[in-house]
Structure formats: C-alpha cells, structure tokens
Amino acid sequence: MGGKTVEDCIKEVKNLEDKASLSREISAYQYKKYKWIFFLLSLAVLVSSTSIALLSIADPAILRSLSFLPSDQQDMRNIIAFLGFIILIISFSDKILGLTESMNKSEQGVKLLTDFIRDCHTFRDVESKDCDETMAGLKLESVKEQYNYLNQILSLNTVSNMTFLRIKKAYKQKVKVSKMLDKDPDINLKEHYLMSLKDWFFWRSPHQSDLSTTDEKIDESMTHQKTQ
C-alpha cells in the first residue's frame, strides 16, 4: 500500500469525499434543471390541450365576440391545428432529447454519491479507529475504485465553465457556513450571506473564470490518474 499510515489513508479518503460532495452538487443542479424544463413542457402541453378543448366546444358566437381571437372560422381552425402541432413537438422532444432519462440519471447520481460520501464519512469517523495500516490501505483502494466507477457512469462534465464555478463557489459557502455553525451555533450569518450575494452578482470576468476552470480540470485529470 505504499507504506501509508492510517492518517494518510484518512486524508486521501477525505479528499475523495470532498470531490464527491462537489459532484453531488453538480448532479443536484442538473436534476433541478431537467425537472424545471420538464415542468415547463408539461405546462405547455396542459395549456395547449385546454385551449384546444375550449376552442372546440365553445359557442362560435362567443368566440367571435372576443377581440383577441380571429373572427374567421378558418383562422380558428389554424390556431387549433397549431396548438395540436405544439403538443406533438413537445411529446416527441422528450424522447428525442431524453429529458426524462437525463433527469432520472441525475437523481440517481445524487443518491449514489450520497451513499459514497456516507461510506467515506463512516470510515473516517468510526472504522478507522479500529483498523491497522493494512486494513486502512485496503479500504482506501476500495474507495478509489468506487470513486472512479462513479465518475465513469455519471455525466458530470456537461455543465458550462461558468456554471461549474458558481456551483463550486456555492458549495464552498455551504461548507464555510457549516464550519461557522459548528464553532458557534448562535453566530449571526446575515453579514456572511450579504457578502455571498455580493460575490454572486459581481462575478469575475468570463476570461478569468475559463482560466480557473481549465486549471481545475487539469488538476482533476491528474487526480484521476493518481487514483487509478
């Protein structure tokens, strides 16, 4: 195991746990994004279907009295046909774009990463106290294999550089707040959140963000090579 001590193994497991926590934030962001898109598409189908039903059964005299609707019967048919076409496009878009599949995959990613993080946490806080260097080394190798496997099956590199940096910044803020509360549960976090909002709106230039993200991706790639 390279002569690593139990403390060395704990540090490496903690490092992988932190990386997995950030990956979980990305999966959660993707899940929320797909869920929101799916909701908007479902709402569009509902509105279109309701409009078609109302236009089909309503009294033509009443429809002609409404100023925002065309008085010509052929134009009314064209509107109904257009709404039906919208429903058709939305129905096929889910299958073509795989929105439901992507949403379910992101949700599953959150669950898998949560289990991985919990396993790492259990080793650091409980199992490591009763194991020697050999057992700790074996556990570290097992954690590395799990981490590499999760990186292979989860599509976490689909977010843009700017989105990745925002997610990472928000995650670091959460960790910072958690540590602050651990030290002082009665601390006033109002000023901290005001500064966080300021940092969020007055963001760095895209050029700086791209450079930072590129460096992080290079570092991540080197980390994967070391864990393999």
The residue length of the chain stands at 228
Q: What is the pLDDT of residue 147?
A: 92
Q: What are 54-68's pLDDT values in tens digits? A: 777 666 666 666 665
Which candidate, 39, 19, 37, 41, places its Cα nearest to that of 154? 19
Burial letters 26-40, b for 16+ CB under 10 A, else e: bbbbbbebbeebeee
What stretches of 66-131 show up as alpha helix (H) in DSSP? 73-97, 99-125
Q: Are the C-beta atoms of 7 and 135 separated by less than 8 Å?
A: no
How far apart, in whole angstroms, are the C-alpha atoms of residue 52 and residue 98?
27
Domain coordinates in residue numbering, the chain: 160-228
Query: Which backbone phi and psi does 3 adopt, to 5 degrees?
Result: 65, 30
How far apart, in whole angstroms, are the C-alpha atoms of residue 88 and residue 153?
32
Q: What is the pLDDT of residue 169?
A: 85
Average pLDDT per run of 10 along the chain, which is 228 residues long?
79 93 91 91 90 75 63 73 87 82 90 94 88 89 92 76 86 78 67 57 47 46 43
Q: What DSSP string runs through 10-72?
A: HHHHHHHHHHHHHHHHHHHHHHHHHHHHHHHHHHHHHHHHHHHHHHHHS-HHHHHH-TTS-SS
Q: Are the C-beta atoms of 133 and 65 separated by less than 8 Å?
A: no
Q: What is the pLDDT of residue 180?
A: 73
Q: What are 20-42's pLDDT values in tens digits? A: 999 999 999 999 999 999 899 88
How far apart, in whole angstroms, are the C-alpha atoms of residue 154 and residue 73?
52
Q: What is the pLDDT of residue 102?
A: 86
